[in-house]
Structure 1
Amino acid sequence: MCGIAGLFDTRGRRQVDRVLLAAMNGTLSHRGPDEDDIWTAPGVGLAHRRLSVIDIASGRQPLGNEDGSVMVCYNGEIYNYRELGKELRALGHVFRTRSDTEVIVHAWEEWGEACVTRLRGMFAFALHDARRGQLFLARDRLGVKPLFYAMLPDGTLAFGSELKALRAIPWLPRTIDVQAVEEYFAYGYVPDPRTIYSGAFKLAPGHTLLLQEGAAPAAPRPYWDVRFELGRAQPEQQVQEELAARLREAVRMRLVAEVPLGAFLSGGVDSSAVVAMMAGLTDGPVNTCSVGFEHRDFDESAYAREVATRYGTAHYSRTVDPDDYGLLDTLAALYDEPYADSSAIPTYRVCELARTRVTVALSGDGGDENLAGYRRYRHAVAEQNVRGCFPAALRGPVFGALGRWYPKADWAPRVFRAKTTFEALSRDLVEGYFHGVSLMTDAMRAQLFSASLRCQLQDYHAIEVMRRHLRGAQVHDALSTIQYLDLKTYLPGDILTKVDRASMAHALEVRVPLLDHELVEWTATLPSHLKLRSGEGKYIFKKALEPYLPRHILYRKKQGFAVPLAQWFRGPLRERVRESLLGPRLADTGFFNKKYLHEIVEQHQAGRRDYSAPIWSLLVFDAFLRRESGA
């Protein structure tokens, strides 16, 4: 795994500032502590930080073809590089290394922009072709690896693996994008292609960007999408066997490394499945690691130990301090822009632990989106079934009124907390799902934002992110619709961003077999009743895993990483909450309603309401502003 950065002159062939390029590359040293290098030519410069995993001896980057006319800097792993290398050699290409990087160079020479369709893996790369006067940027299909870019005022395109590489450019415009603010307080992250800055962007998953010397910049173009098109009906037993075989193959491809390799093992279904497959594919014991929590409601370490014992892994575990809130400022520096998933804290710690033992770790990320594991899928499908019983003309007024009249009851048992359900039923599927996953509801954001910010937004609404993704999407029912939305938003924007930054902070490479694009494409063809049945998510996945894992591991209640935010904000972080939310930094932005900020703090700290998620998002935003100001 690596970090990349670069500059490309779209207006001519002006000399690239090597000092600036070195500074950009230096911000990514944590991603690649083993080697670094810079290559420049008239009008272009590529920089690379290397974490050596494959072809340690000769895989140094930037790397080029025989005459240096094509150069690439790349972050990721191409798992089918040996097969592609064999094919390209048969076509006459000459290789000088055994690295997967060189495969990209010759694939470009042979297939041009279509080369990305031949790559199976996780990647973000920049390739310069001197003969064509082109710079080609590409990002993998699911967005496992990040890539940021910005067009500078002088016509130079700058790019990097993290936003901090662009922040190293003194003249990068850093005006906060107000639409990104709206999206952040809805989703808890800034969805691609936007960043918190109006002049910087994320290259979206499954997209490429081709720039031509002397031409106006083109727009990014998609080269892949997942299609939920039903395949040929098969007996369930056959589907189970094929699913297990496909998972085994996806894991096998990700075991190639010249450095110590292991896996995260939380004790949940997905990570346990990955470890079970690894154990059957390796000669020695699998290295596994997990973190535990002192609070039993959050702790899964006993299940992790049970799986580790079953498969004879070399298991390492550490109990995480439940009051690990000191990482707040560290996380602000890691993520570069506001990012409000508090599970980034234990994720950071498990990556820290893993790096003491291995350089590469396999994870179970992506299983919930791919195979319908989230409880919210069950609720969303049930709500849609209820909607189907009422004409739209009746549903909106009736459930809308019930939602307005029913009291908010966060303190009550779930059965009595119907306000959100009524509100969701009054909407269509997408509006209801957006409402359910939003960090702060529409009504809360309307109160949170100042009149000035609402005016600047000009009626822009964060749901447009979901609406945009669904235009042209191949989906066939409610479940496939919300799965598709998560694959396009929550997965790359939250989950994969969290893991990439937390792992790279410790120079740890994380591989995600459940997001092998061929596996994702195949599971998308399965009917929804094989994924969600009688309220059981991942139905067919769990059936396929019954020979490998005990039933109480497969069918227990999902836990996941969680931290005790509500207690923090009434206890050890009480004063920091007041200083941050009621202090001058948030006020000086002009974005927020001071009266509502005060209400959030007072209501939460008095124990009358649980505003822990909004407070955390505001603390993170304040930490971002503090870093921006250098305070």
Structure 2
Amino acid sequence: MCGLAGVVAAAELLATQPGLLKAMGQAIQHRGPDDEGLHSSDCGSFGLVHRRLAIVDLSAAGHQPMFSPDHRFMLAFNGEIYNHQALRAELDKVVPQVWRGHSDTETLLAGILHWGLDDTLRRAVGMFALVLWDNQQKTLTLIRDRAGEKPLYYGFSQGAFLFGSELKALKAHPLFQSEIDIEALALMLRHKYVPAPRTIYRQFCKLEPGCILTLSLNELSLGHSAVQIRRYWSFAQVAKNAAAQPFSGTEQEGLQQLEAQLCHSVSEQMLADVQVGAFLSGGTDSSLIAALMQKQSSQPIRTFTVGFHVPDYNEAEHAKAVARHLGTDHTEIYVTEQDALNVVPSLPQLFDEPFGDSSQIPTYLIAKEARRHVTVALSGDAGDELFAGYSRYEHSLALHHKLSSVPGALLSALAWCKPVLHADVWRQLDKLTGQADYGPLSNGFARVAEVGLCHSFAGLYTQVVSDAKDPQRLIRREPEASLFTEPAAQHSDEQRLAWMMLTDSQTYLPDDVLVKVDRAAMAVSLEGRVPMLDHRFIELAASMPMHFKRRDGVGKWALKQILYRHVPKALLDRPKTGFGVPTDHWLRGPLRDWAEALLDTEKLKQQGLLNTSLVRKYWQEHLSGQRNWQYMLWNLLMFQSWLEAQG
């Protein structure tokens, strides 16, 4: 696990001199505190800095950047290749190698020399952001792992092409110059994250998961048009392949194959020359990963969980019960209001972009605690996307059926009334008609009104997952482009469910979940690993029929059946609370002064970016308890906090 950054520019710009590269590296020193490597090409037009967190091969033989024996290629690598020992054995059978050490970086470089880049990527199992410089062809290649576990940013500024693991590394270069992308801001206020390939800066992008970017020095003057991007793997192609060749075995065979592959993935990801542990929430996914780790360990593994003193948000007791049953060496911390206050000021620096997933706070705190004991921690992320675990899937399907039974004229009337009628009116309508109480995901009249004029299932799902239903009103602009692509004709709930899972795998998973884990962990020099994102497990899961994923309206059926083999069902069967954070309480209590300062009327007017009166309306309604706007307000506050940190 490491960090990297670099520049491609005309030599006369002095863009690659060691002092500038060193400054870029220092900006991401937390990603790699163990070692630093600098390189400038002979032509003076390419420069790179690498910061290393030593996980595999702690010796100098793992130093990066690393060069091929003939010095044509230079490779810098952020991540881990879990099957690199098997790749080494395969290479040795073909052409006996003279290995300098036992790092996966050296394995990758040897594979590229022998098999070529594409075939090496096809064989590699892992998470990575790669930088490959061809000193002969004067060509730069950037590669991001299949699912998007490791970040990679890039863009042109003042004639220079800048790239790096985090935006703060690019910003450390004096040629960095950009402005806020208002379209990206609108998407962030809606979804709580800036979706790839956008960033909050107009001129800079995220390399999307499963993509390869190439840039020739000879075409540098062409700017963005010189950048060539192609995709070598995608969730969409996996879904297409699975539909063409679905799993055809029995139920028991399917469960056996899933457990065997996940067990193998966990085994590979436990390999390290440092201490390894696991995050444990007590839910299905993290409990399964911890169980498979403990099954393969002769010693109690280290597990870590976080709790809250607000009962509705606390799962720590459930995690403790699972840990006790598995026999792990368990650590738990409880997040207090003061802990939140202490962390909030550092969030803009941690995330570089406005990022509104409030579980960033406990994620950072538990990563910080885990780092005191281990250097690597496995997590159960991706189970919801692969096995239909999110409750919003069921809510979206229920809403779709409700809308289908409501006359169009009534839908139009409800939609027209939505911004006019007071929230109490909607509550009374729900009570009179026996609907659920109004809430973020209820199916009452107000919820129907919010989605009543959606003309497609994609539009409906967009509204369901939106924190701000109309972000264009908050920033006084035309509606932003839709993040979700319109699905093909869908004639069944199974098809709609498959589309939601695929959509989340391509958006919410890489741009929210994995960003949160990567930044929080790397801020304290902890490597996070996600066994369910082994592409072999993803492809196997995709081939399973939908009833392996969702039965009787409940998701993750197959994962639960496997887990019950290791943990008693009685310890696990309970309503899922998720990794939520009581920001609704905190914003009315200990965080109120902080929020009030960021949402100050004069400050908002001076900045000139947000609709001051509307923002203040939402804030006052939340404080009075009239409405719970915690999610939208947190997005606004994270943007304001980020903006203030820019100076």
Shorter-chain TM-score bucket reads over 0.9
| Partner of residue 328 from structure 1, selected from 316, 339, 344 | 344
One-letter amino acid of the structure 1 residue matched with residue 183 of structure 2: Q
Alignment of 1:301-380 (within 5 A): 301-323=316-338, 324-380=340-396
Q: Please report how far the alpha carbon of residue 584 of structure 1 lies from its aligned counterpart in structure 2 after TM superposition.
A: 4.2
Alignment of 1:449-598 (within 5 A): 449-450=475-476, 454=477, 459-463=478-482, 465-467=483-485, 477-598=495-616
CA contact 2:191–2:465 (8 Å) conserved in 1: yes
Question: What corresponds to 1:100 in structure 2?
Answer: 104
Q: Secondary structure at the match of 2:460?
A: helix
What's the CA shift string for 1:519-557, capped at 9, x where partnerless?
111111222222111111111221222211221343321
Question: What corresponds to 1:142 in structure 2?
Answer: 147
Deviates more, 1:477-486 or 1:7-16: 7-16
| Partner of residue 402 from structure 1, selected from 398, 405, 414 | 414
| C-alpha distance in 2 between matches for 1:395 and 1:214 | 61
What's the CA shift string for 1:172-204, capped at 9, x where partnerless?
122001111111111111011111000111111
What's the CA shift string for 1:230-250, capped at 9, x where partnerless?
303332222112111111111
| C-alpha distance in 1 between matches for 2:218 and 2:14 | 11
Q: Please report how far the alpha carbon of residue 596 of structure 1 lies from its aligned counterpart in structure 2 after TM superposition.
A: 1.0
Question: What corresponds to 1:4 in structure 2?
Answer: 4
Question: What corresponds to 1:50 in structure 2?
Answer: 52
| C-alpha distance in 2 between matches for 1:549 and 1:117 | 35
Q: Please report how far the alpha carbon of residue 256 of structure 1 lies from its aligned counterpart in structure 2 after TM superposition.
A: 0.7
Q: How many pairs align?
A: 611
One-letter amino acid of the structure 2 residue matched with residue 431 of structure 1: G
| Partner of residue 249 from structure 2, selected from 234, 251, 273 | 234
| C-alpha distance in 2 between matches for 1:481 and 1:426 | 21
What's the CA shift string for 1:579-624, capped at 9, x where partnerless?
2112444333322112112211221212211122222112111111
Alignment of 1:80-479 (within 5 A): 80-92=83-95, 93-114=97-118, 115-154=120-159, 156-215=160-219, 216=222, 217-226=226-235, 227-228=238-239, 229-230=242-243, 231-323=246-338, 324-385=340-401, 397-405=409-417, 408=423, 415-417=436-438, 418=444, 419-424=446-451, 426-427=453-454, 428-442=456-470, 445-450=471-476, 454=477, 459-463=478-482, 465-467=483-485, 477-479=495-497
CA RMSD of aligned residues (A): 2.3
Q: Would the alpha carbon gap of residues 130 and 510 (structure 1) be closer, same or farther in structure 2, given more than 3 Å must change? A: same
CA contact 2:285–2:559 (8 Å) conserved in 1: no
Q: Please report how far the alpha carbon of residue 67 of structure 1 lies from its aligned counterpart in structure 2 after TM superposition.
A: 2.4
| Partner of residue 78 from structure 2, selected from 75, 80, 104 | 75
| C-alpha distance in 1 between matches for 2:295 and 2:54 | 26
Question: What corresponds to 1:66 in structure 2?
Answer: 69
CA contact 2:381–2:530 (8 Å) conserved in 1: yes
CA contact 1:293–1:322 (8 Å) conserved in 2: no
| C-alpha distance in 1 between matches for 2:335 and 2:74 | 44
Q: Secondary structure at the match of 1:477?
A: helix
Q: Please report how far the alpha carbon of residue 218 of structure 1 lies from its aligned counterpart in structure 2 after TM superposition.
A: 2.1
Deviates more, 1:395-404 or 1:315-324: 395-404
| C-alpha distance in 2 between matches for 1:130 and 1:396 | 64
Q: Please report how far the alpha carbon of residue 628 of structure 1 lies from its aligned counterpart in structure 2 after TM superposition.
A: 0.7
Query: Could you tell me the TM-score, scaled by structure 2's length?
Result: 0.90
CA contact 1:116–1:138 (8 Å) conserved in 2: no
| C-alpha distance in 2 between matches for 1:333 and 1:469 | 37
| C-alpha distance in 1 between matches for 2:229 and 2:215 | 10
Q: Would the alpha carbon gap of residues 425 and 302 (structure 1) be closer, same or farther in structure 2, given more than 3 Å must change? A: same
What's the CA shift string for 1:201-243, capped at 9, x where partnerless?
1111111101112024223221111232330333222211211
| C-alpha distance in 2 between matches for 1:586 and 1:493 | 27
Q: Please report how far the alpha carbon of residue 426 of structure 1 lies from its aligned counterpart in structure 2 after TM superposition.
A: 4.3
| C-alpha distance in 1 between matches for 2:417 and 2:600 | 31
What's the CA shift string for 1:404-423, capped at 9, x where partnerless?
44654687887143222354
CA contact 1:77–1:123 (8 Å) conserved in 2: yes
Identity of aligned residues (%): 37
CA contact 1:39–1:47 (8 Å) conserved in 2: yes
CA contact 1:395–1:425 (8 Å) conserved in 2: no
CA contact 2:17–2:40 (8 Å) conserved in 1: no
One-letter amino acid of the structure 1 residue matched with residue 54 of structure 2: S
What's the CA shift string for 1:312-371, capped at 9, x where partnerless?
111111222144233111111100110011110000111011001100111111111111
Q: Please report how far the alpha carbon of residue 15 of structure 1 lies from its aligned counterpart in structure 2 after TM superposition.
A: 7.0
Q: Please report how far the alpha carbon of residue 425 of structure 1 lies from its aligned counterpart in structure 2 after TM superposition.
A: 5.5
| C-alpha distance in 1 between matches for 2:450 and 2:607 | 32
| C-alpha distance in 2 between matches for 1:476 and 1:306 | 35
| C-alpha distance in 1 between matches for 2:204 and 2:216 | 19
Q: Would the alpha carbon gap of residues 187 and 611 (structure 1) be closer, same or farther in structure 2, given more than 3 Å must change? A: same
Q: Would the alpha carbon gap of residues 580 and 176 (structure 1) be closer, same or farther in structure 2, given more than 3 Å must change? A: same
| C-alpha distance in 1 between matches for 2:506 and 2:333 | 33
Q: Secondary structure at the match of 2:75?
A: strand
Structure 2: gaps spanning 5 or more residues: 439-443
Structure 1: gaps spanning 5 or more residues: none
